[in-house]
A and B are shown apart, each in its own frame.
Chain A
Amino acid sequence: KAGVTQTPRYLIKTRGQQVTLSCSPISGHRSVSWYQQTPGQGLQFLFEYFSETQRNKGNFPGRFSGRQFSNSRSEMNVSTLELGDSALYLCASSFGGDKNIQYFGAGTRLSVL
């Protein structure tokens, strides 16, 4: 069974640009969550989608947005990139109920220059 797939693995952008990251969940999983990992802040929750609906959102500015498609694949978008957005962005999938294990992809390493 294929795991969580994130594309691209690496990305370099300049300040002010926008970026879209993609996540394909494990087959059968309907929930997709996004996290940002930085050395200073650790792993921080961005948002979670289930059946194309956002159910929870972390404390990030509106420049960070996401969506989920009917096949459960998800994208996240960051507009007007800032240097501080440089991070590892991780996607996780689960069945979506309470007390479900989240399985993570390898992440997308975003560098903003």
Chain B
Amino acid sequence: DQQVKQNSPSLSVQEGRISILNCDYTNSMFDYFLWYKKYPAEGPTFLISISSIKDKNEDGRFTVFLNKSAKHLSLHIVPSQPGDSAVYFCAASGNSGGSNYKLTFGKGTLLTVNP
């Protein structure tokens, strides 16, 4: 079963507007969440993370929101730039139950930012 889900395979946004990427999870043991960006033929690049004790974390143009009761997190990119065009992965880890020391990934969302 898929414990981390990114239900939108793709998203297209105009340059300068906001990009919102969504992620849902099912495993209650997850307590740390990360977003990675991936270009073709490269490894994933870390963007931003959030611990379950927080509901928001911000780093420059990137903000991650966590709604624990809904088991939902989102990544906001403001303003979006053409260089942000990539596949974005949501990942989660826990502290027990076999979910520690590993990342469980969603299948990714392809973001295209149009000039």
Residues of A within 8 A of B (CB): 4, 6, 31, 33, 35, 42-45, 48, 50, 55-56, 58, 90, 92, 96, 98-99, 101-107, 109
Interface residues on B, range: 20 to 34
- Give B97-109 as 1s and 0s: 1 = Cβ < 8 Å from A's Cβ atoms: 0101111111110
B85, CB-defined interface residue at 8 Å = no
Residue among A31, A98, A105, A109 having the largest count of chain B Cβ atoms under 10 Å: A98
Q: Could you say which of B41, B104, B108 contacts A106, with CB atoms under 8 Å apart?
A: B41
Check A4–B102 contact: CB distance below 8 A.
Answer: no
Q: Which of A43, A48, A56 has the most CB of B within 10 A?
A: A43
Docked CA distance A35–B102 (Å): 10
B43 and A106 contacting across the interface, CB-CB below 8 Å: yes
Out of B31, B34, B102, B105, name the residue touching A42 (CB < 8 Å): B105
- A106 touching B102 by the CB < 8 A rule? no
Distance (whole angstroms) from the CB of B104 to the closest CB of chain A: 7
B16 at the interface (CB under 8 A from A): no
Where the two chains meet, the residues of B that have a C-beta atom closer than 8 Å to any C-beta of A are 31-32, 34, 36, 41-46, 49, 51, 89, 91, 93, 95, 98, 100-108
**Cβ-closest 3 pairs across A and B:** A104-B43, A43-B105, A42-B107
Is B101 a contact of A33 with CB atoms below 8 Å? yes
B residues near A106, Cβ cutoff 8 Å? 41-43
A40 to chain B: closest CB distance in Å?
9
